[in-house]
């Protein structure tokens, strides 16, 4: 009887993921994560691709992390080939939370340079979480190609990813200091400065980088 009741509760929770109220969907995702069941995984992944509410998406990700990686990772990797940006972005976000390094080969250059900023930012975070140590420098080189991209939040996200790679990112940042594109140079200088002094803040580092580039130097003498 208990098993039958549990199954009925899980079925109701899964149906609740399609409710028009975001609060109902949030409770449904919480319920599925509280009592994980492998047959729910495909539904959770599918809902991630279309869920409009950020809080519900976060709860869906949490629910997926409550299931075995062997069950969730294959489906999430499959979503990385989706035509829909949210599907790719949320799958990457969830993979970063699961932390299964077996998913690393799926974090391709195409994802790291995706035209959709949300996808690219999720790919940067996932890559930093999953990259093997011996491939950190190569990853930094790919990330450095994106310096100067997008608005403040996108640039801050990329800076954080490069800083998280530590010493492996320094050669790529040094090379970017010499780039003919002033936006890339400023971003590289700001990222290095932020890595040395995190308390300075990103905006301050960017302003300092603008000053350095305007003076026609690389800032390496500072």
Q: Mean per-residue pLDDT for 97-101?
A: 97
From 136-140, 165-169, 188-192, 212-216, the region with the lowest mean pLDDT: 212-216
Range of the domain at 221: 136-222
pLDDT more than 90, % of the chain: 79
In a domain, 98, yes or no: no
In a domain, 118, yes or no: no
Task: Look at the chain and report how many structural domains it folds into.
Answer: 1
Q: Mean per-residue pLDDT for 62-73?
A: 97
Would the pLDDT of 151 be above 80? Answer: yes
In a domain, 18, yes or no: no
- How far is Cα 217 from Cα 1, in angstroms, rounded to an integer? 75
In a domain, 163, yes or no: yes
Q: Mean per-residue pLDDT for 107-112?
A: 98
pLDDT more than 70, % of the chain: 93
Neighbours of 184 (CB within 10 A): 20
pTM for the model: 0.88
* SS3 letters across 126-184: HHHHHCCHHHHHHHHHHHHCCCCCCCHHHHHHHHHHHHHCHHHHHHHHHHHCCCCCHHH
Would the pLDDT of 221 be above 50? Answer: no
């Amino acid at each position: 009887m208990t098993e039958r009741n549990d199954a009925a509760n899980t079925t109701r929770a899964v149906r609740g993921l399609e409710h028009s109220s975001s609060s109902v969907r949030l409770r449904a995702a919480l319920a599925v994560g509280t009592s994980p069941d492998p047959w729910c995984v495909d539904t959770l992944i599918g809902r991630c691709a279309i869920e409009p509410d950020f809080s519900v998406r976060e709860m869906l990700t949490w629910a997926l992390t409550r299931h075995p990686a062997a069950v969730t990772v294959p489906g999430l990797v499959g979503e990385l080939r989706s035509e829909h940006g949210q599907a790719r972005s949320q799958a990457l976000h969830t993979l970063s939370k699961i932390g299964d390094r077996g998913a690393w080969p799926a974090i391709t250059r195409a994802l790291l340079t995706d035209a959709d900023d949300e996808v690219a930012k999720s790919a940067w975070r996932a890559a930093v979480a999953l990259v093997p140590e011996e491939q950190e420098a190569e990853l930094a080189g790919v990330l450095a190609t994106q310096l100067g991209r997008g608005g403040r939040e996108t640039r801050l996200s990329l800076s954080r990813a490069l800083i998280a790679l530590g010493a492996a990112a320094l050669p790529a940042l040094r090379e970017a200091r010499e780039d003919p594109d002033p936006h890339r140079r400023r971003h590289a200088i700001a990222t290095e400065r932020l890595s040395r002094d995190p308390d300075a803040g990103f905006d301050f580092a960017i302003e300092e980088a603008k000053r350095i580039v305007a003076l026609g130097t690389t800032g390496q003498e500072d």
